[in-house]
Amino acid sequence: MLDIKYIRENSELIKKAATDKLMEVDVDRLLDIDKNIREITSKLDLLKEQRNKLSKLIPTLSQEERQDKVNEVKNLKNEISTLEETLTPLKLEYKDLMYRVPSVPLDEVPIGKTDEDNVEIKRVGEIPKFDFEIKDHVDLAENLDLIDIPRGVKVAGSRSYFLKNEGALLEMAICRYVIDKLVKKGFTPMVVPTLVKDTPMFGTGYFPIGKEQSYEITEDNLYLVGTSEVSLVSYHSDETFENTNELPKMYCGYSSCFRREAGTYGKDTRGLYRVHQFTKIEQVIICEADFDKQTELHNFLLNNAEEILQDLKIPYRVVKVCTGDMGIGQVRKHDIEAWMPSRGKYSETHSCSSFNDFQARRSNIKYKDKDGNTKYCFTLNNTAIASPRILIPLLELNQNKDGSINIPEVLVPYMNGMTKIEKKNK
């Protein structure tokens, strides 16, 4: 959410941001409502002041004078009630429109409509060449009894799966390795709620735009999160840090995540790339409202994810995400895309985002600066690892001719010393 004063003073900039982000919001309607609300509120304040003065005056008046003033107070109350009834729907529409106003991307963000318009800034690692016909992750994993997609579909419907045997252990190993790495860097590990109220979803910018991607538990008015970012940012909602020494707050959240993948019918249907339930470790930072500090922390988060892929020896590239591929609140975003042999291209595994005070304003997260002024915090996040998507390059890049899978060296200690996954003798 943006400051309404900023929107008033920069309406054309906001309109351009909405156009560039491919989002629809009637900024002119918002400003008209804002003006009406202020005018009505001002009039209400005057009427209430008159009513209060008369109410205090009435007991001091004579019987004859009193009745006239009582009638006057009654008329004022009716006028106030009418104005308040007018104000209620305006405030609801105002709130809805405010939740739809996007943040303004930084000047460095490329203008574009889809991920095809993202701008590559670097590639790291050599794409391996195989001297045998490679298998994709589905064939590899099924041959080694690491996944069971048909039974996943039987139990839970499309885009569902079971991870089994070393497949399950491998996901756990990756997650534990990543958590250990981030804890050493100063992150607080968190296991977070995956069922949340709608307030955190609005607060982090996943509602109202994007609501169709969430699973709703209607009986309890709860929602399944698509990322632990929702819970981690909301951890400090409606709080004020007393000084900048308490910042930055750095959390790594471990959770199951759920996305409906609405609008992706027929897309990425084979394998583990696009599924409804997955496990993710998310990096979240809450910091003071300092643009230079935010840039430093953005690069820190991005580098952490790059280090993880380097440790796993997975080739990748980093792209600047264009306006049309950004979310409503992001002012800067980089994606990291790992090389996936079966897809024959780099595909997204990590997204690193800066929000300025967009999420903090919606979530009411503040701090007091060195002069005692109260300000909204800045927030940032980046994927640390997401499984089973990361298993795609990990399995495919480490396959051998006989169908076995080499385990990356950094994961061997987390796999109880196992260095290779081989087919079991029946």
Please, are residues 301 and 274 in contact by the beta-carbon 8 Å criterion?
no
For the chain, give the number of residues: 426
Active site residue 270: no
Active site residue 317: no
219 backbone φψ class: left, alpha, beta (φ>0; ψ -120 to 50) = alpha
Among 123, 176, 260, 274, the one annotated catalytic:
274
Residue type, 54: L
CB atoms within 10 A of CB 133: 6
The structure tokens listed for 188 are 């607080």
Cβ partners under 8 Å of residue 400, min gap 6: 406, 420
Active site residue 212: no
Whole-number Å distance between alpha carbons of 287 and 359: 12
Q: Is 301 exposed, middle or buried (0-12, 13-18, 19+ CB in 10 A)?
A: buried
State how far Cα 113 lies from the chain centre. 20
CA separation (Å) from 322 to 31, 118, 151, 257, 401? 28, 5, 39, 25, 40
Please, are residues 289 and 376 in contact by the beta-carbon 8 Å criterion?
yes
Active site residue 9: no
Among 51, 159, 259, 332, the one annotated catalytic:
259
Rg, Å, the chain Cα set: 27
Among 171, 229, 288, 348, the one annotated catalytic:
348
Active site residue 343: no
CA separation (Å) from 129 to 132, 143, 251, 344, 397? 9, 22, 38, 12, 10
Among 351, 353, 363, 387, the one annotated catalytic:
351
Query: Which residues are catalytically annotated?
Result: 259, 274, 348, 351, 389
